[in-house]
Amino acid sequence: MRSNNLTLILGAQWGDEGKGKLVDILTPKFDIVARATGGANAGHTVYATVNNVPKKFIFHLLPSGLTHPDIVGVIGNGCVLHLPTLYEELENLNLEGISINNRLKISDRVALLFEYHKLIDSHQENSKGENQVGTTRRGIGPCYADKINRRGLRLCDLTNWDNFISRYQANLEWHQSVYRFEYDSTTELNFIRSKRDQLLEKMTDTATYLYEALSAGQKVLLEGANAALLDIDHGTYPYVTSSNPTIGGVFTGTGISPQHLGEIIGVVKSYMTRVGAGPFPTELENETGEQIRKIGGEYGSTTGRPRRCGWFDAPLTRYSIMLNGFTSLNLTKLDILDNLEEIKIATAYYLNNQKLERFPANLEDLAAVKVEYETLPGWKTSLQDISSWEQLPPNAQKYILRLEKLLNCPIKYIGVGQKREQIIVRTNQLS
């Protein structure tokens, strides 16, 4: 049965675009919010009012739409689940008066991430010396590697505790034989056993659950984690994550069929940021970059690391649009550019004096490109109290319209601040 009841919100750059805010804003229109890929390496920040008190929430594993009552959250089979992080987030919500109760459903097929995966992650990263990728050291890669190597454990394995213990110990011993580390599993296993009954209550065949919900006319919002240029296949490899944050990962990571697909919303910052190593063609290693970092609070919500900042990159974003088929874009943090005299947009890459028509796979090529820029005047006024397109300064409108033309994709949502209400919804965008 076909429907258009599935809406996707996906990162279109290197992550940290502000996906959580749009998820939070759109969630009341939906019945279910789901995660399909990634783990506690994601960090989605939401500013919400609870009992008339403004609060800041940072989600790593839970779908960020769970701040809304009556919304069901789903952690899909494509995610990796670190149980202490899950319970820390649940407890934080509970302390703020947000009760999850039976509103969370976790795939029976989700991979379990253990503490020794984090040790392996750090060991692998340290061994690379100056060539470190910049991993969050949250164990994401080693957990996905166990899954691909068919030695990992899944949530459904908790149904038989003795078998779970046996497989856990066998996997740990295998890793210890390779990486030569000492590890006492007692604390971790005791914790898992203490939460086992609760986890089995939340465990669900989420692929079937989502299929039945969509078939019954319920609306599902898919909350992407990470972003297109961090995709293991299509991103700036090897400086990527270990899953597929592009559109294909949505379907394999949930079991949802594409026949239900409606809107595909790409989230892009008004400028570029990147955490960790890897080529960054428009990077600003000067006072302007530092100004954007400071005003924009560009520090990782997962690691706290300072983000590298640069001008908006149209060739990179066009590549992301091609991969994901975005029907519209959410341009975030436009207000961070308020004080700039002029703003640049990267419009093309050149390599060996030849204009590149495709985004390069080879990182040496990407690092060597010469960037062509357009310069637009800034607007030099605060946007934070603006609530409509008509109220935007002419130069801010020109910037948005130029991006829209360069990208050939409508910009429907414009973020002008952190709060839920600080967003402009356009009805007259490019179509």
Kindly state the tokens that stand for 297.
């609070």
CA angle 30, 104, 166 (to 5 degrees): 145
**Is 234 tagged catalytic?**
no
Kindly report the number of other CB atoms within 10 A of residue 321's CB atom. 20
> For residue 41, how many C-alpha atoms fall within 13 Å in the half-sphere facing its CB?
34
CA 154/CA 421 separation, integer angstroms: 40
Among 257, 222, 252, residue whose Cα is nearest residue 1: 257
d(C-alpha 345, C-alpha 283), whole Å: 12
- Asked whether the beta carbons of 279 and 371 are under 8 A apart, the reply is no
Catalytic residue among 24, 44, 60, 234: 44
- The DSSP output letter for 179 is H
**Residue 208 burial (CB count, 10 A):** 11
CA 132 to chain centre: 21
**Using CA atoms, how far apart are residues 132 and 338, in angstroms rounded to an integer?**
35
The type of residue at 411 is: I
Q: Are 283 and 289 in contact (CB under 8 A)?
A: yes
Each residue of 42-79: b (16+ CB within 10 Å) or e? bbbbbbbeeeeeeeebebbbbbbbbbbeebbbbbbbbb
Is residue 205 annotated as part of the catalytic site, yes or no? no
Q: Compute the distance between CA of residue 38 and CA of residue 83 in angstroms, rounded to an integer.
A: 14
Q: Which two tokens stand for residue 8?
A: 């996707």
Question: What 3-state DSSP class applies to 309?
Answer: strand
Tell me which H or E stretch contains 194: helix 186-202
Q: Is 186 left (phi over 0), alpha (psi -120 to 50) or beta?
A: alpha
Tokens found for residue 425: 């919804």
Q: What is the rounded distance in angstroms from the CA atom of residue 368 to the CA atom of residue 272?
A: 18
State the number of CA atoms in the 13 A half-sphere of 190 facing the CB: 4
- Rounded to an integer, what distance in angstroms lies between the CA atom of residue 391 and that of residue 82? 45
Helix (H/G/I), strand (E/B), else coil: 408: coil
Tell me the catalytic residues.
Answer: 16, 44
